[in-house]
Structure 1
Amino acid sequence: MTAETETPAKGSLKHLPITLFATVMGLAGLSLALHMAETQFGWPPLASRVALWLTMADFAVVAALYVLKSLRFQAAVAGEWGHPVRMAFFPAISISLMLIATAMLPTMPGIASWVWSIGALAQAGLTLAVISGWIGRRPFQPMHISPAWFIPAVGNVVAPIAGIPLGFVELSWLFFATGMVFWIVLLTLVMNRLIFHDPLPGRLLPTLAILIAPPAVGFLAWLQLNGGALDPFARVLFYTAITFTAIVVVQARGFVKLPFALSFWALSFPVAALTIATFRYANLSGSQAHVALAAVFLAALVLIVAGLIARTGVAAVRDEICQPE
């Protein structure tokens, strides 16, 4: 029996997508957003801890399955690495680790330091590998570009959020500088593609939400790097995230008509980052309007993640996830 004619179970493993790590990012973002809400409203730290353990379990399962896929189906993994969209999702692995480390900080700082270090090392390697793949291996066309290309840049900007409290100051600045520069470059490319070329295909339309993540995460990282001051640059980053949110909301009516795909998980982490950023902005500015706005974002996040979990479960039961495209 060859690698191409295995049993159905093995065949499903072969098509396990790297995009599944987006579920970990979404759940980690939910845990962090719930922790912010618990702090803001004085709630007991129960929901955020449950979400954190769910996140860690999800990461363990997805990572184990993907390692197994890597051992059995190297050609399939190479195919995902060569895919112009899926390649950008590989840093979701390292981002997930750094987000888990951030969520661990309040209760498990020692473990968080190790998890962050592993995630940061992986992020550095994957950033160089992805950018090298973009530059040197093959020509890309405008239709290959999508907001998913922001993911490697977002990973670098995530690093300082836990890196500064853990004492990795210079590394945090390095990651932040790299992420912000490439965000600006990629923003130009992505907007050019969205405005002047064919619309995104249906399966990629939910990735528009990723536009929100870089400025929202950048706002949180900048607060860590500058000592928590709500300076003009912080305000620019926050309100850029708000502007992109409005753009995505206007476009969101097109999402409703689409059949479910794992790309819908692209909605979760950006909304989580926006929620956390809005809570932070509210605390620093003393604005009750921003507290109310953060509560609205949190409610939307909970509904989005709950719906995604339910729909992913249905898709898994129907064997709709690990299928060839």
Structure 2
Amino acid sequence: MDTFTNYTLKSGRPQLDYLPVGLFGSVMGLVGLSIAWREASHLYGMPVAIADGIGAVAVVVFVALVLGYGWKCLTDWQATKAEFQHPIIGTLFGSVLISLLLLPIVLVRVSPKLALGMWIVGAAGMTLFAWLIVSRWMSDRQQMLHATPAWIIPVVGLLDLPLAMPALNLPAATGLGVFALAIGLFFAVPLFTLIFTRLLFEAPLPDGLRPSLMILVAPFAVGYSTYTTVTGSHDIFAVALYMLTLFMLAVLFGQMRHLATCCPFRVSWWAVSFPLAASTICALRFAGVSPGLFTDGVALLLLCVASVAILGLFLRTLKGLLSGELRTLSS
């Protein structure tokens, strides 16, 4: 974010030019954690009130971010435009649309019509955004150093499209659901390969981008939930996605172990939240189909890890907001 300069109104009052669009990833993480706790309530009798409470927080955070980023768009359009055109940061606009696709799972119990309308906007916007980003990639020569885990969000993010369809009483196994599953899984392969190649043969990611490594588990974790939602089956491919999720988590946990010492807290740390929540949902749903000491243990362990991590991120961000250091944490 140090690419962007600070803008002010003609009155000289500082504006929200520093507010990063990637902070919408916090909504994704909170909604994912809410879904995970609801799954845990079905499986293990956990209090459903926890899921409802986390979901309510996610809605409040989303509304606050929409107002804040909307104000940024109105007062600092050039900063917003620069953010959208950035080869890495621009892909994070997909987090806004994914939030619109996930929030209906929480809101459908309160207002089915609002949830459906939000999902329609998210589905249309995510499809258009995926097309736009792929067109951008194919129109201009890209630099290998820009191939970071954030590149997974715009196209592989389509995997989130079918997740709310059962809750909205929409058939997931129709053309739209299959379209999202096909595009998401197809592009996951070359994008993961490209990013992995960049990690192997180019300079290491800057410390500020280290948390985004956790995004690499998302195609497998979300892919599992989407595949089982669309196909309605739990076949060998679903099991393979679950196994890949566990393997990638084991690798990435090793990469994250020094995060607190190498990289001071920034709001970019929220990049770990949704992949952790999605992995927890994957593990819980797999445990529901194949209960056992191992699968139940993994599911409960991930639920604890995701809950502690996201609570820590939330409290640290809230502290930064109340102490007036959000600009620094967004850099």
Give TM class, smaller chain.
over 0.9
1:40 to 40, 43, 65: 43
Partner Cα separation in structure 2 for residue 177 and residue 244 of structure 1: 22
- 2:157 aligned partner: 155
Q: Which residue of 1 aligns with 2:22?
A: 19
Pairwise mapping of residues 173-322 of structure 1 onto structure 2 (< 5 A)? 173-227=178-232, 229-257=233-261, 258-322=263-327
In structure 2, distance between residues paired with 1:187 and 1:209: 12
- Unpaired segments ≥5 residues, structure 1: none
- Name the counterpart of 2:3: none
1:286 is paired with a residue whose SS is: coil
Distance 1:172 1:249, change over 3 A: same
Structure 1 318/43 Cα, relative in aligned 2: closer, same or farther at 3 Å?
closer
Name the CA shift for 1:158/1:4 in 2 (closer, same or farther; >3 Å). closer
3-state secondary structure, aligned to 1:14:
coil
CA drift at 1:7: 8.0
Counterparts of 2:323 and 2:299, CA distance in 1: 36
In structure 2, the gaps of 5 or more residues are 1-5
1:33 and 1:298 in contact (8 A); partners too: yes
Identical amino acids, percent of aligned pairs = 32
Aligned residues of 2:39 and 2:284 also touching (Cα < 8 A): yes
**Cα RMSD (Å) of the superposition?**
2.0
Decide whether the 8 Å contact of 1:153 with 1:180 is kept in 2. Answer: no
Task: Please say which of residues 165-174 and 78-87 is displaced more in the overlay.
Answer: 165-174
Q: Cα distance, 1:278 vs. partner? A: 0.5
Equivalent position of 1:86 in the other structure: 89
Q: Does 1:104 align with 2:91?
A: no
- Report how many residues are paired: 321
TM-fit CA distance, 1:72: 1.6
Separation in 2 of the partners of 1:88 and 1:210? Answer: 13
What TM-score comes out, normalization by structure 1 length?
0.93
Confirm or deny: 8 A CA contact 1:105 1:112 kept in the other structure.
yes
- Is 1:97–1:118's contact at 8 Å kept on the other side of the alignment? yes
Amino acid at match of 2:137: W
User: Shift of the alpha carbon at 1:210?
Assistant: 0.5
Report the TM-score when normalising by structure 2.
0.91
Call closer, same or farther: CA 1:106–1:215 in 2, change over 3 Å.
farther
Query: SS at 1:28's partner residue?
Result: helix
